[in-house]
Structure 1
Amino acid sequence: MKAIEFDQAFDDGQDVSDVLDVSKARRPQQAQRRVNVDFPTWMIERLDEEASRLGVTRQSIIKVWLSERIEAQDKGRGEQATRNATMLELTP
């Protein structure tokens, strides 16, 4: 199956799993390490409330929120770096 056919089948909602070779699939940057973090009781209660509201685990909420924060910081740094580079270009 050509890529354009695959894309069209996928976009049409067809099951394309039979043409995928998942034996070589990998998830980049998914290595995990266990860490222990102490949280104040009020924070755990709030995390649990949000997890319950969304129907997910506390760990999932923590991972998503931390990921969002890191991505936001990375984006901010990228924009700042662009601004700094622009300023350097404008400086005589």
Structure 2
Amino acid sequence: MKTVERFDRKFDDGEDISEYVDWSTATRPNLEPVTLTVTVKQGTKLRLERQARELGVSVDSLLEEWLREKLDAARPSAAE
């Protein structure tokens, strides 16, 4: 069995894979930040800034969380 297949099987079986991973340099795919340009009306921008300020987060963080919530809610459930 190839090393990668052995690694995958151990991971899938919930075994400890620490000996195979350099955690100091490990990354998770699709979590690197990207820039997204969105055009909104001035009033919407002001409301976003106010809401973010009230929550103590950045507008970027607020938008990302809201988008993630909306996308998760729109995802078909596994039971369907």
TM-score range, shorter chain: 0.5 to 0.7
**Aligned counterpart, 1:64:** 65
CA distance in 2, matches of 1:27, 1:41: 36
CA distance in 1, matches of 2:35, 2:46: 22
Alpha-carbon distance, 1:24 to partner: 4.0
Q: With the length of structure 2 as denominator, give the TM-score of the two structures.
A: 0.61
Counterparts of residues 76-91 of structure 1 (less than 5 Å): 77-78=76-77, 82=80
Higher percent of residues as helix = 1
Alpha-carbon distance, 1:27 to partner: 2.2
CA distance in 2, matches of 1:51, 1:41: 15
CA distance in 2, matches of 1:69, 1:41: 23
C-alpha RMSD of the superposition: 1.9
Total equivalences in the alignment:
59
Structure 1 stretches of at least 4 aligned residues deviating more than 4 Å after TM superposition: none
**Aligned counterpart, 1:49:** 50
Alpha-carbon distance, 1:56 to partner: 1.0
**SS of residue in 2 equivalent to 1:78:** coil
**Aligned counterpart, 1:31:** 32
CA distance in 2, matches of 1:64, 1:47: 13
Identity %: 31
Alpha-carbon distance, 1:40 to partner: 0.9
State which structure, 1 or 2, has the greater radius of gyration over its C-alpha atoms: 1
